[in-house]
Amino acid sequence: FSRRRERAARGLGAGGAMEFRLEAHRIVSISLGKIYSARGQRGGLKLHKNLLVSLVLRSARRVYLGEPGGECALPPRPGPPPPPDCERLRRGCRPLASEAAARGRPECPAESPRKRSAAERDPAAGYPGKKPRRETEQPPPQEDMETGNVASLISIFGSGFSGLLGKERGAAEATEPGQVCCEQPVLRSLNPWSTAIVAF
Amino acid sequence: MEGESIYEVDSEDGVGADIISTVEFNHTGELLATGDKGGRVVIFQREPESKNEPYNQGEYNVYSTFQSHEPEFDYLKSLEIEEKINKIKWLPQQNAAHSLLSTNDKTIKLWKVTERDKRPEGYNLKDEEGKLKDLSTVTSLQVPVLKPMDLMVEVTPRRIFANGHTYHVNSISVNSDCETYMSADDLRINLWHLAITDRSFNIVDIKPANMEDLTEVITASEFHPHHCNLFVYSSSKGSLRLCDMRASALCDKHSKLFEEPEDPSNRSFFSEIISSVSDVKFSHSGRYMLTRDYLTVKVWDLNMETKPIETYQVHDYLRSKLCSLYENDCIFDKFECAWNGSDSVIMTGAYNNFFRMFDRNTKRDVTLEASRESSKPRAILKPRRVCVGGKRRKDDISVDSLDFTKKILHTAWHPTENIIAIAATNNLYIFQDKVNSEMH
């Protein structure tokens, strides 16, 4: 086990921010490899495992690209106070111990409509976008597992990868996401998605 | 604990077909069923204790073996369906026969296990081999007589509950009413009647309208041991939902939600994965629930939803290794947990063929190993220790030398006695505590 890598995953050590992003990049690559290799698995796609992998992928990607919400994946650092709980919940983070008392409030101002609609409808259920289901016989046998949505997840991240090539300059520089400013001619010629495929 | 019996299930074909995938005692503890990756079920029976052979008292021997599930291919979706037995549950015994449910990813089957130890002899129209007699040789009539024969155990499939699940079945649970049972997959839970195979009722459905909104799946479920209207299901987010079937036909609204807020100092990229509950078990009393996530086992009181009443660290030294365990897929391992008969001790498996027991009263815990070297018959199991730096004692194992391919995912505890069954890859270990056989 690489100690340095493990500490980076926890956000400790010198040059913590840079190690974070390197670690995040590595986790993104590993996760994509898992999703890709899961397609050929015997027994069909394992929904539970692939969901967990996609959640890790999302967190790591947020940290790597420096997007808001990326901090949810990391332990708290001293600095500005944590955002109000509505903000955290909007980012999809789990409520913290300090916010547990505030949990259960059905309404939050200025929320994105898609994620909040189900909670407003039925605070107890908490599952977005679910259609009501009457007592019925077994679901029609032709129902698809909809694993095709995993493929769309991959292509979404694939297009977002074009920005990753330009991040080698370091966290100090603020670069526009999506801007390709790679300095190594070899990498410039490779599609970022095929790089991930070749690695696995 | 004494080492008692070790069974190795031999595989004739394919590597890994004999990896044990589930272990379950029946309600009296007389029978122990195991399922494996190759779709086979092996049932062990405990020998009755007798004064004549005191050393063979209470040993488990193979009672019956049968092929429960075969690999299938769904041509419509181009999917292979694994024959691996995910769960076995015994029905309470209602007559001379025993019944059990076994399930793979898609299909649940009800099996009836019967004994035959007599056979009729002296037919009038057939001879000993069963060939028809020449009628001219029959001059008198005789009544066929039942004569004893060598014990034969017959297992027959009585019901096949198919086409109920689109996603992979992870658990089944027989209701205390002994008439119904439920089966849970990643997104739905169905209620079946044991006698009816062509329909089931969907009682939980957490599938979102748009699968890209999916954030949570069902990981395990169980009926309450006494209240036939209550059941619990666990989620990949670490929460438990207790549902009351009297409240409505569709139990999407939980009666109680058990969830512990996250500890911010432990947050990492893998917090979500390690909080996913891999197993949930009601206590025998019905008052508590036991859950297992990647690093801990927790005891929950049904009367308190805000946090567990007890948390036990199974292998906290792995917390700093999560990235590597993610890489080698070990972080996705699903460990089970078990109560002893009096709900005073809980047990769960770990890596390196270690398993752990926690005494809820004394707060003492022990790590034991299931291995051939330490498990000769009537050998005493020696407690093991994993050292995490600091002083290292003799026989300690360092974290870095743990064998992560040797994992104990499936364990079972006899319903009343101190007998445990431990599945270590393709070996089954049965340990008995002869000194403290009775529950305290």
* pLDDT band (50, 70, 90) for residue A198: very low
Q: Is residue B219 within 8 Å of B277, Cβ to Cβ?
A: yes
- pTM for the model stands at 0.77
pLDDT of residue A162 exceeding 50, the answer is: no
* pLDDT band (50, 70, 90) for residue A185: very low
d(CA B263, CA B291): 18
Q: Is residue B112 within 8 Å of B105, Cβ to Cβ?
A: no
Looking at beta carbons, which residues of chain B come within 8 Å of A144? 77, 166
How buried is B348 (Cβ within 10 angstroms: 0-12 exposed, 13-18 middle, 19+ buried)? buried
Q: Which residue in B214, B267, B272 is closest to A75 by CB distance? A: B267
User: Residue B199 and residue A138: Cβ atoms within 8 Å?
Assistant: yes
Q: CB distance from B262 to chain A under 8 Å? A: yes
Residues 6+ apart with CB under 8 A from B115: B96, B151, B152, B153, B154
Q: Which residue in B82, B321, B327 is closest to A43 by CB distance? A: B82
Interface test with A, best of B83, B166, B196 (most A CBs within 10 A): B166
pLDDT at A147: 52
Looking at beta carbons, which residues of chain B come within 8 Å of A97? 261-264
Looking at beta carbons, which residues of chain A come within 8 Å of B207? 130
Q: What is the pLDDT of residues B180-208, one digit of tens each?
A: 999 999 999 999 999 999 999 999 999 99
Q: CB distance from B36 to chain A under 8 Å? A: no
pLDDT at A3: 56
CA atoms within 13 A on the CB side of B417: 17
- Scanning every residue of chain B, which has its alpha carbon at the shortest distance from the alpha carbon of A38? B329
Residues facing residue B232 across a β-bridge: B222, B242
User: Residue A146 and residue B211: Cβ atoms within 8 Å?
Assistant: yes
Least confident of A17-26, B155-164, B370-379: B370-379
Q: Is residue B176 within 8 Å of B223, Cβ to Cβ?
A: yes
Long-range contacts of B98-104 (CB under 8 A, 24+ apart): B98/B26, B98/B31, B99/B158, B100/B24, B100/B26, B100/B33, B100/B41, B101/B172, B101/B174, B101/B181, B102/B35, B102/B41, B102/B68, B102/B69, B103/B169, B103/B172, B103/B183, B104/B39, B104/B68, B104/B69, B104/B169
User: Residue B321 and residue A44: Cβ atoms within 8 Å?
Assistant: no
pLDDT at B266: 83
Q: Is residue B24 within 8 Å of B428, Cβ to Cβ?
A: no
Looking at beta carbons, which residues of chain B come within 8 Å of A56? 269-270, 272-273, 326
Q: What is the pLDDT of residues B342-353, one digit of tens each?
A: 999 999 999 999
Residues 6+ apart with CB under 8 A from B38: B11, B13, B14, B17, B18, B83, B84
Q: Which of residues 172-211 of B touch A (CB under 8 A)?
A: 186-188, 190, 199-202, 205-211
User: Residue A76 and residue B276: Cβ atoms within 8 Å?
Assistant: no
A47-65 and A16-38 helices, crossing angle to 10°: 150
d(CA A121, CA A114): 12
- Scanning every residue of chain B, which has its alpha carbon at the shortest distance from the alpha carbon of A148? B211
* pLDDT band (50, 70, 90) for residue B388: confident
Distance from CA of B401 to the nearest CA of A (A): 11
Q: Is residue B231 within 8 Å of B240, Cβ to Cβ?
A: no
d(CA B178, CA B92): 7
Q: Is residue B319 within 8 Å of A9, Cβ to Cβ?
A: no
* pLDDT band (50, 70, 90) for residue A143: low
Q: Which of residues 144-163 of B touch A (CB under 8 A)?
A: 163
User: Residue A43 and residue B261: Cβ atoms within 8 Å?
Assistant: no
Least confident of A176-180, B132-136, B371-375: A176-180
- Scanning every residue of chain B, which has its alpha carbon at the shortest distance from the alpha carbon of A56? B269
pLDDT at B380: 80
d(CA B359, CA B366): 9
Distance from CA of A152 to the nearest CA of B (A): 9
Looking at beta carbons, which residues of chain B come within 8 Å of A76? 264-265, 267
